Every structure is written in structure tokens, then in C-alpha cells.
Structure 1
Amino acid sequence: MEAIEPAYGTTTLLLIAAAAVAVLLFLIIKVKLHAFVALVLVSVLTALAAGIPVGDVPDALTFGFADTIGSVALLVGFGVMIGRLLEITGGAQVLADTLIARFGEKRAPLALGVAALLFGFPIFFDAGLVVFLPIVFTVARRFGGSLLLYGLPTAGAFAAMHALVPPHPGPVAAAEALEGDIGLTLLVGVPVAVVSWYVGVMLVSRVLGRRVYVDIPDVLFGRVDEENDETEGGGTGVRTRTAPAFTTVLGVLLLPFVLISFDTVFATLTTAGVIEEGATWAESLMLLGNTTVALLITVLVAIVVLGRRDRSMADISTIFDRALGPICSIILITGAGGMFGGVLELSGIGEALSNSLSDLGMSLILQAFVIAAVLRVAQGSATVALTTAAGLLGPAAAAADLGSFQISLLVMAIAAGATVLSHVNDSGFWLVSRFFGMDVKTTLMTWTVMETTLGLTAFGLSAALWAVA
């Protein structure tokens, strides 16, 4: 669905968006209305208030909802299946024990974060987070303390790689819009992402983890000992079964990493002209690397190498049924968050802001950060903010006759602005909130703060390099 011609000026649209967020927070935090109901209700009211024609409101609502849930539902569903098999077969425990043995107890959060940085190179944020959750929960249960000490470094690592490093779609699209070099953007993005993660996520998570206690939720995967009676015929469950080997568990985790890299790498090479567009062999490998297909293949492999070691297919189906049930709420709330962001996008607020911010009379790199940040806050989607800001800055960047390195830094600044201040109009906000079992207020105090420090650190590095470039 295309954006609707704005019915009001920028100021009015901003006031409507601010009022919508305020009402949503009031309904969820004060009234205690269920987040899914509140998001749908506020989305309807916002669409009407923003001047979207009554006949177009249903399409406006389904625009963001369908786009979000179409990807999230499959990724979360397959991810939870993989995670539950890792959990109940002891695979997550094996991997956690190995990480702790190599890095030590005090460095457990660092170990999780470094692993997520590596796995996050080709894997999208939501898919990587779901697959890593059982490992995070296992480590957190073993050592105690707030889940944030272990969860934020992991989630923040996936967020940093997704926002800043090609071949993820956001930085690739921004580099193309600015006519930059994707390879150089990759070389710049990796160190910026790693340093930004350590300063803006790792160090910040230590402070947040000490100040805010978040218990390990049982709603997503349940506890391992609850599976003791899950098999047919009164099986004794995981306690009497032999855990899989570390290499087996690592292989299951590496499989989606390898498969998804087919899609991201070959798509990038095709865009760069290295591979002929439409080549059948490349498209076949890219199909295997499609995130949904890659996770489906991983589920099938996990069934064979983990589940079928000492369980029947009937047992595994029962395990999957029990794992999928609790995530319905997560999927619906995340989809409704996408609905709210989609309504704000279609209302014309992004276009109105773009027109008013396109000539701010400040340095180009600061302008890039500010435009992307305002767009991010206004409509929620980091990808939309990133691509829109890059499109706006394209003419100015061309007129400034920037070098390839400066264009890469400009991409980093845009990505940094598109990262900050994740809040209730961002579907990723709800994904983290539900996965970590946090209420809205706690998520704003932790995830929103961490995303902001991550983005600010990335911009600080970009601006410092820009000054000496």
C-alpha cells in the first residue's frame, strides 16, 4: 500500500503521533490493557486522527501488520522449535558449559555477545535472537542475576550487526542510495559495529543488569524438567538421556548461519555485478539461504540429529506443540506493533518530516544522524528510517563530491540514527519485551536505553573518523 497524501502539516502530524504514543503507554502501563488490544485500538484511532480516509483504514491497519507478522511468525515459530530441541535434549546446556569453560563465569556475558556478533553477520536480528535464547536462558539460570546481564549483550550484538554491517539490507540499501562502495562499507561497518557494541551495549548492560532485575521467563520455552513426562508411555525425559556432543550442537547452530550466508552474499555479489543477474545456480543457493527456508532446513536437521536420537516423531511433535502455544501472544503483539508503525508511516508523517528536515544547515554527517533518528522515532521502522534518510541525502552527498570512505561513514551515521530510541511503534521493541518477559516500562528503561547508547556510540565513532577523513 502506498503512502497517503498527508492531510495535515508536519506539526499537526507530530502532535498526533506524540498523542498516540502517550495514549498507548497510558493504556498499557496505567490501565493494564493487554498490549495487543491496546496497539490495535490506538492504531485505528491514529489512522482516523491522521486523516486516512475511512475506507482506507482497514488496508492501512493490515499493511504494517501483514508485513511484520508475515516474517516474524515463521521466524519465531521455527526458531522456537530449534530452541526447544536444544533445550530439552541438553544441547543448550552443553554449549553453555563449553562457553563457560573457555571464557570463565565472569566472562559469560562477553562470550555470549561475541558469539552473537559472529552469528549475526548473515542472520537477521529476530532469527538470531530466537535461536540463541535457550543458550542465554541456560547460562542465566546457571549463574543467576538479572537476565539483562546475559540477554542484552546477545540481543545488542545482533542489533548492531543488523543495523551497521552489510550484507544486511539496511546498510546495503543506504550505500546503494548514496552510490557508495558496499565492500568498503563492510570494512568500515565491522569495526564500528564491534566497538559500538562493546561500549554502547556490553558496558551499558552491566550497569542496567545491576540496577534492573529481570527474572528468566518460563513462558517461552518452559523449564527442562517439565519435559520429563512429555513422552508417550511415561518416559523419564531428559534427566536419563545422554546429551548431544558439542560438535553436534555447534553444527545445528552453524547450519542456518551457513545457509543464510548464501542469500546475503550472493545477493550482494549480484547487486555488485560480480554474478550475472538471474543466474539459476545463484538463485537456487539464495533460495536455500532465505531465512525461512534456512530455518526450516535447520528444524529438520535438528529433528534428526537431536530429537530422533532417543525420541519418537510423536514425542517430537508433542514437544513442538507445547513450544508453539506460548508464542502466539508474542507473534500477535509484535504484529500489532508493526501495525502501529505502519499506520504512522502511511499517515505521511515520514514524508512531512523528510521535507522539513532536508535542509537543516548543519554538517552533512550530523544531518544524516538527525534525519534518521527523527524518522526512527516518528514511525518506528529502522529500515524505513535508514532507506528514507539515505534517499534524502543522496543529492547532497553527490554535490559534496565525497570520497568512498566518507560515504561509508555517512552510511554508519544514518544507521546509527535509525537505531536509537526504539519504542512502542517498533516491532522489535515488542519482540524483545515479550521474549525477555518484560513489561513496557521496564523495556523502555532497558532496551530503549541500550539501543540509544548503541546508536550514539556508532555515531560518535563515525563523526570522529569523519573529522579526520
Structure 2
Amino acid sequence: MDTAFAFTLSTPGLLAVAAGAIAVLLFLIIKVKLHPFLALVIVSIATALATGVTVDDLLPTLLSGFGKTLGNVALLIGFGAILGRIVAISGGAKVLADTLIRICGKDKAPLGLSIASLLFGFPIFLDAAFVVMLPVIYSIARELRGSLLIYALPAAGAFLVMHALVPPHPGPVAAAVFLEGDIGLVLLVALIVGLPTWYLAGYQLSLWLAKRTPFHPVPDLMGGADSDEVERTSLPRFSTILLVLLLPLALIFMNTGITTLISAGTLPEDNPVLGTLTLIGETPVALLISLCLAMWLLLLRGHEKGAMGAVNETIEKALAPVCSIILITGAGGMFGGVLTASGIGEALADSLQSLGLPLLVAGYVIAAVIRIAQGSATVAGTTAAGILAPAVLDSSLSGMPLACVVVAVVAGAIGYSHVNDSGFWLVGRFLGMETKTMLKTWSVVSTAISLMAFCLAWALFTVLT
């Protein structure tokens, strides 16, 4: 596709179009009450035309962002929703919720969920981990009759910290590769920076915001308190539910380990056994394997042959509510893709590069500006690292100080989540939150996580140099 149109406007012109597009989008969703899917598509078309996309290029530009986002999240949401409903209607979510409440106590249930999410989010992407954890979050909120946000936001904050800062997630790994940083040292710095960031910004701030937001009920997306459950003589065992939920974690971690060792040259590239294990550990495949195991252990085992009909009905009920979420998430990716194709992020980054900021500060600011402009954290992190790479490689930075620069870049790339971020819509739709509420909670949490991680990375960099 010809993308010459992307640079026909000056940087101020591109910035004005982006600001206007976001303002119109918020007006349509908040004031006009237009469905977010339609609002995102309409504004994406208008923005593309305003930035110089030709009629011939318009549809490919729109579908590129839409299709790429759906390719990443549709299977994850679909498999995760089915797995979540199976765990919920089998009583598994109640078993996990009761166990967590018993261990942590009712008052510390949000902390327990946030810690569990922190561990669960180590090798698995935010969207997949969040969807798999949702039935437990829903169940605890129903069990304790509290506002959903009190339990969901601290968990989501933990997932965001892990996804943003810690290898083997793609942002930190890509930035480390561009800047030639040591992955092990990046992991060490990410943990030093990430743990206090999680506790203060991911957990404490999330809990504070949730308690000051009006009561938020649990949406009936994965089996509600009044949903028809599969008849069972007893609830599933805690170990069975743990196996079902931790299996994708283990498979994805295996994939990450093998891929890392192959990249380092420790393992051969063309080994068919390793290739098969890597395939099994791909996130969609890992979720599908766990889903099939859950169907057998929680719904089919011990039941008559006709139980497959009930399983299919469960799948139908799981997929129906999330179709809207999938489309809205894809439309969010479409809007972000249009902004990316317009050249807004690159134009702003080029302008910022000429300001002569210190390398660590410049990396954060460039990543943050690109993130605000076009929405994708991965694009923001990799683009900022690529822009910064020549200056970093010409400097004498290495070891821990270089790892601090990598962490600062990815910290800038994950913050400031708003309406051009597909993850903003995914979290908001699953929690049943209005756009205005998301801006007052999720956007604030992501910004706080970004700023705190950057400040801690900068402080550590200053001490080390």
C-alpha cells in the first residue's frame, strides 16, 4: 500500500487533526451516546481523509489496523470467554474465589487478586491474562457483594505493569534488542522498578479510584449468579481449576524459554520437536488446549453422552456477549492504525529528537508522545527505541544504566491509555464501564504507572552513573 499520503501535512497540522479526531470521538460517545463501534469507524474514516488518504487507499488503511488488531485479540477473547464461562458455570470460579477470600480475608481480597494477577501476568499478555482471570474477579465481586471495580482495577493494574515493563513481553524485549541491552539486566531493572510501581500505582491508586467511583455491578458475560449451571454432585476441586488456569501460563512460558534460547544460539532453529513445542506454547494454541481440557474435566467427565449439547450451548452463551467487545476492540485498532499511518507519531518524534534532552528522558518522552498520538504501546516502544538507537549505540552506556534507558522507553510506551488504544476498549467493555469512567480510572492508572516507572528508572540511572 502506498503511504506517501502519511507526510503531506506538517507536524502542527497532523497534531491538530489528531486532537480534533479524539475530541469528536469523545463527543459522539459521551454526549451523542453513539455506540463506540460506529463512532470509531466514522471517526477513523474522517481522520484518514483529513490526513490525505486517497480514496483508493482508504479501505486498505482502515482494514489494516482493524484486521491486525482482530488477528491479535479475536482468538484470545473468544477462547478466553469460553474458558471463563466454563470455569464460572462449573463452580470453579466460586472455588477459587472462596479459596482466595479464605487465604487473604474479605478486606484483602483486592490485594490477593492483584498479587495473583502480578504472578499470572509474568509470561502472558495483558488481554489474554485479563480475560482468563475475569471469572474469578466476577465471582469474588458477587460473593462479597462489592463494586466490581474494587476487585477488577487492582488486578488490571498488575497486568499492565507486567505487560509494560517485564521481559518476555514484546515491548521490553523489542526495545532491548534495538538498544542492544542485556535481557537479563533489563528484567532485573524492570523488577526493581516494577514492584513498587505495581504496589503504589497499580494497586493502591486503583483501589483508591475504584472506591471513589459509583457502585459498579458485575456484567453477565461469563455466567452470572443466576446462570444455568451444569448439574454436578459436587464442586470441582481447587487443584483441577488451578490446573486449567495455569496450563496456558506454563505452555506460554515454555514457548518464551525455547524462543529465547533459540535466539541466543543455545538451541538449534530447525529442530522439529522444538518447533512443535513452540507452536503449542503460542498464546492462542495454549488457550485452546486449556479450553479443551476444561471442557473435559469440568463439563463432560462423569456425564451422559448428551452432555455435548450442553457444552455447545455454553459456548454459544459465552461467545454472544463478547462479539461486541471484539468488534469495538478491532475498531479501536482501526483508529490507532489510521493515526499511525498518518505519520503523526514519527513527525512528533523527529521534532522532539532535536531538543537535546538526556537520552533516558528523550526515550521516555518520544515513546509517550507516540503512544498518545497513535495508541499502540508496541508501536510506541519499538519506534522510540529505533529512533533512540543511534544515539545510544554511539554513547558509552552499557550494563545496568543501559537497562534503565530500556525500561524508561517502555514506561513511556504503556502510559496515557485513551480512546485510540484497543486495550482501553477491551478493558472497558469487559468491565461494563462507560467511556467517561474509563478516562477517570483506567487512563489515570496507566498514566501513573508510566510516570512512576520512569521516575524510578531515572533515579536508578542517576545512582548508577
Give the gaps of 5 or more residues in structure 2: none
Tell me what 1:232 maps to.
none
Counterparts of 1:153 and 1:273, CA distance in 2: 39
Change in 2 beyond 3 A, CA 1:144/1:360? farther
Name 1:61's counterpart in structure 2: 62
CA deviation vs aligned residue, 1:413-468 (integer Å, no higher than 9, x gap): 11111111100000000001100000100000000000011111111110110110
Query: How far did residue 216 of structure 1 move?
Result: 2.9
Alignment match of 2:308 (pick from 309, 313, 321): 313
Using the TM superposition, name which of 405-414 and 209-218 deviates more: 209-218
Contact persistence 1:164–1:416 (CA under 8 A): yes
The residue number in structure 1 matching 2:283 is 291
Q: Answer yes or no: is 1:393 the counterpart of 2:385.
A: no
Aligned twin of 2:183: 182
Q: Which residue is equivalent to 1:428?
A: 423
How far apart, CA to CA, are the structure 2 residues paired with 1:450 and 1:161?
14
For residues 55 and 136 of structure 1, the distance between their equivalents in structure 2, rounded to whole angstroms, comes to 46
Match of 2:259 in 1: 267
Judge conservation of contact 2:142–2:225 (CA < 8 Å) in 1. Answer: no
Whether the 8 Å contact between 1:145 and 1:213 is mirrored in structure 2 is: no
Deviation at 1:219, TM superposition (A): 3.7
Provide closer, same or farther for how the CA distance between residues 241 and 29 of structure 1 changes in structure 2, counting only shifts above 3 A: farther
Residues 161-172 of structure 1: pairs in structure 2 closer than 5 A:
161-172=162-173
- Whole-angstrom CA distance in 2 between matches of 1:92 and 1:255: 16
Q: Contact conserved, 2:417 with 2:446, CA < 8 A, in 1?
A: yes
CA contact (8 A) 2:101 2:109 kept: yes
Residue equivalent to 1:282: 274
User: Which amino acid is the alignment partner of residue 224 of structure 2?
Assistant: R
Structure 2 SS opposite 1:226: coil
- CA distance in 2 between partners of 1:396 and 1:65 (Å): 34
Distance 2:2 2:202 in 1: 36
Opposite residue 374 of structure 2, the aligned amino acid is: Q
Deviation at 1:310, TM superposition (A): 4.9
* TM superposition outliers: structure 1 runs of 4+ over 3 Å: 1-5
Report matched runs for 1:159-308 at 5 Å: 159-228=160-229, 237=230, 241-308=233-300
How far 1:190 moved relative to its partner?
2.2
Cα displacement string for residues 196-237 of structure 1 (whole angstroms, at most 9, x for unaligned residues): 111111110121011102423334124142215xxxxxxxx5
Q: Secondary structure at the match of 1:223?
A: coil
Question: Deviation digits for residues 227-265 of structure 1, max 9, x if unmatched?
Answer: 15xxxxxxxx55x64110000010111100011112222
Aligned pairs (5 A) from 1:354-393: 354-393=349-388
Q: For residues 145 and 114 of structure 2, what CA distance do their matches in structure 1 show?
A: 17
Distance 1:301 1:188 in 2: 37
Number of residue-to-residue matches in the alignment:
460
The 5-angstrom pairing of residues 100-111 of structure 1 reads: 100-111=101-112
Mapped partners of 1:324, 1:272: distance in 2:
40
| Aligned counterparts of 2:269 and 2:389: Cα–Cα separation in 1 | 25
SS in 1 for 2:265: coil
What secondary structure does 2:7 align onto? Answer: coil
Letter in 1 for 2:421: D
Identity, % of aligned pairs? 53
Residue by residue, what CA displacement relative to the aligned partner does 1:164-221 show, whole Å, maximum 9, x if unpaired? Answer: 1111111000000001111111122123222211111111012101110242333412
> What's the counterpart of residue 345 of structure 1?
340
Match of 2:108, SS state, is helix
Letter of the 2:284 partner, please give it.
T
Q: CA deviation at 1:273?
A: 2.2
Taking structure 2 as the reference length, the TM-score comes to 0.96
Give the gaps of 5 or more residues in structure 1: 229-236
1 CA distance for matches of 2:156 and 2:2? 32
* AA in 2 matched with 1:100: I
Structure 2 match to 1:467: 462
Distance 2:152 2:3 in 1: 36
Partner of 1:130: 131
Structural RMSD (CA):
1.3
Query: Deviations along 1:340-396, whole A, 9 cap, x unmatched?
Result: 000000111122112112232222111111111100000000000000000111111
Once the 2 structures are TM-superposed, how far is the Cα of residue 156 of structure 1 from its aligned partner? 1.3
Of the structure 1 ranges 256-265 and 293-302, higher mean CA displacement relative to structure 2 is found in 256-265
Answer with 398-407 or 387-396: which moved more: 398-407
Deviates more, 1:422-431 or 1:154-163: 154-163
Q: Secondary structure at the match of 2:414?
A: coil
Give, in angstroms, the shift of residue 54 of structure 1: 1.5
